[in-house]
Amino acid sequence: MRIAVVALGKIGLPLAVQFADSGHEVIGVDVNQRAVDTINAGQEPFPGEAHLAEKLAELVPAGKLRATTDYAEAIPGADAVVLVAPVFVNDETWEPDFQYMDSATRSLAEHLTAGTLVSYETTLPVGTTRDRWKPMLEEGSGLTEGVDFHVVYSPERVLTGRVFADLRKYPKLIGALSPEGTRRAREFYEAVLQFDERPDLDRPNGVWDLGSTEASEMAKLAETTYRDVNIGLANQFGLFAASHGIDVYKVIDACNSQPYSHIHRPGIAVGGHCIPVYPRLYLSTDPDADIVRTARLLNASMPERLVAQAESLLGSLSGLRAVVLGAAYRGGVKETAFSGVFPAVDALRARGAEVFVHDPLYSDDELRRLGFEPYHFGEAADVAVLQTDHADYREVGPADLPGVRLLVDGRNASSAERWVGTSRIVVGAAV
C-alpha cells in the first residue's frame, strides 16, 4: 500500500516507521521543516523512543519511508491516510482546541482522492469524527464519504518510549462510518500491525471493531479517564490516611490483594499529554460527569496541597532555598507536558521561596529555557520537593542537599533509610 501519515511527532513518526517496516511505501507530512530534514537524513528528530533510530537508519536509505511538508506530494493516490495531529484543551475553559487538527484536515481534504481510507488516531471528544471531520473532508474535497472515500476512528493506545512494543501488545480498536469503511479499516490495520498472543483476553488480540466512531472515541477517553479518576481516589485516600497516622501504601496493597480492587498510587501530580487532558475532552461532551471533574480538580491541587503542608511544618518558606527534584512529568522520560514541576514551583515562589530545579535528563540551559534556575547537588538547600520518580533519586540523601531540613516526597520514590534524622513527608503516609 501507499500510506501517508500526517504529523510526525512522538506517535506519528513511530507509526510511519511501523507501517514502512511492515512492507509498505510511507510518506509522512509535517509542518516542521527541521524535523522533515532530520527524518530524511535517516535520523531521529527526538530521543527516547526504543528502536526508532535503528529503524529510521534502515528504512529511509532503502526508500521505504520519507517525509515532506507538502500535502500535495503525500496525499493524492494514497490508499490510506493516518492523522495524528494534536488536539489541545484550553486550560481555563477546558474546551478542546482543534486548530491543528482543523488545519491538517483542511489541507488533507484539498488533495484527497477517491478510494482513500482516512483514519484519525488522535484522542477526540465523542462525536468529533462524524460531526466535524466528515463534513470538513467532504466540503474540502468535493467527494462523498462512504462512497468516494471512507473514514475510521482508531485511537492510538501507546506510550512514548515503547510505541513499537505497545502496538503489538494492545488490540487495535476501530470504529468506522460505514460497513465498507469498517472492512477497509480492518484490512488496513491487519496489513500494517502484528499482534502478540494475549491469553488473558477473552478474544484473540488483533483488530477489534467497536461498531461506530463514537464507541471507538469513547473507548480511548474512558480508558484514560479511568486512570485519572483512580489516581484521584488514591490521592483522596492518601490525604485522609496521612492525617490519621495511616500508611496508605499498606492499605492499597492490602486492597489490591483481591482481584476486584485495582487502586492506583497517590502522587504529587498527574502529567503527560494524556491523563490530565483526556478527562477534560470527555467533559466537553458530558458536562454532568461530576466524578470526572472532581478527580481532575483534586489531582491538579496536589502540588499546592503538599507545598502548603511543607509550609505548615517549617513555619514559613519565605527566603528559603527550595529545590524541586524532577522537571519531567514521569521518571525516565524527557518530557514536561503538564508536569507537576510547574505548579510546584509556582506554589513555592508564591510563598516567597527561592526556587531551583534539578533533573538528570535536562541540561542547565534546557532548565533555564523552561523558566527554572538549575540546581546542582552539593549546593545549599532548605527544603526539597521530589516531583519526578527518576531512578536516580532513590540514592539521594541529605548529604546531597547540604542544610536540607525537609524532604517532601511526592512520589514515594526516596529511600527512608537515607533520610533518617531529617524530616521527610511522603505523599499518602503519616507525618
Amino acid 167 reads L
Diameter over CA atoms, the chain: 73
C-alpha–C-alpha distance, residues 423 and 46, integer Å: 39
Nearest residue to 213 (alpha-carbon basis) of 289, 118, 94? 118
Q: 147 exposed, middle or buried (CB, 10 Å; 0-12, 13-18, 19+)?
A: exposed
Would residue 220 show up in a list of annotated catalytic residues for this protein? yes
Angle at 135 between CA 222 and CA 72, to 5 degrees: 100
* Annotated active-site residue in 134, 172, 220, 255: 220
Contact 348, 317 (CB under 8 A): yes
Spatial separation of the C-alpha atoms in residues 213 and 150, rounded to whole Å: 12
CB 368 within 8 A of CB 355: no
Q: Which residues pair with 89 in a beta bridge?
A: 96
Strand pairing category for 383-386 and 80-83: unpaired
Rounded CA separation 311/351 (Å) = 8
Helix (H) or strand (E) holding 28: strand 25-29
Say how far apart CA 137 and CA 197 lie, in whole Å.
37
Is residue 191 within 8 Å of 172, Cβ to Cβ?
no
Q: Looking at 10, 134, 274, 334, which residue is catalytic? A: 274
Burial (CB < 10 A; 0-12, 13-18, 19+), residue 211, is exposed
Annotated catalytic residue 255: no
Please give the helix or strand (H or E) that residue 262 lies within, else none.
none
Q: Which positions are catalytic? A: 220, 274
